[in-house]
Amino acid sequence: MIESSGDSVIVRRSRTRPLVFGKDTIRSVEVKDPDRLVPRWASVPLWLLMAAVIFFNLVGEELMQYPGGQAVDPDFGFQILLAAGWMVLMLEFLYRALLSLQYPGYLKVTLEPAGFLHIYTDDPERVAALLGAPR
């Protein structure tokens, strides 16, 4: 939820403290559409398929080894950590893909000293007007 009071903007977030900054720190506000290389409906299944392929490629070889073979490969722990890291990265990409499916666009707000803010909303033009962007 975004509120404008006087010369400050308050962005209320559900799990963290609200973000408060002055309107004079806003350098630019751009309404952007999510850049999609594949159709929106295909992005989530493709991310899930890629995550499964990477996981089973890294770990599946060790899990499918026959019992009479080598007891434990010395690189098995590294492969588990690498697969867990890839899974976390893929879950983060999946979260972004699901977020872009829910919201048709986002705002890229550039702040004055340094930094930027991405605001995902179902009505980006209204929020841009609330932040003081020219129409």
Please tell me the pTM assigned to this model: 0.50
111-115 contact pairs (CB < 8 A, 24+): 111/21, 111/25, 111/26, 111/27, 112/24, 112/25, 112/26, 112/27, 113/25
Contact (CB, 8 A) for 15 and 93: no
Q: Could you state, in order of their start, the residue ranges of all structural domains in the chain?
A: 2-34+103-131, 40-101
pLDDT tens for the chain, 135 residues long, are 788 777 888 888 778 888 888 888 888 888 887 666 566 677 778 777 877 777 777 666 666 665 665 666 667 777 777 777 777 777 777 777 777 777 767 888 888 887 888 888 778 888 888 887 654
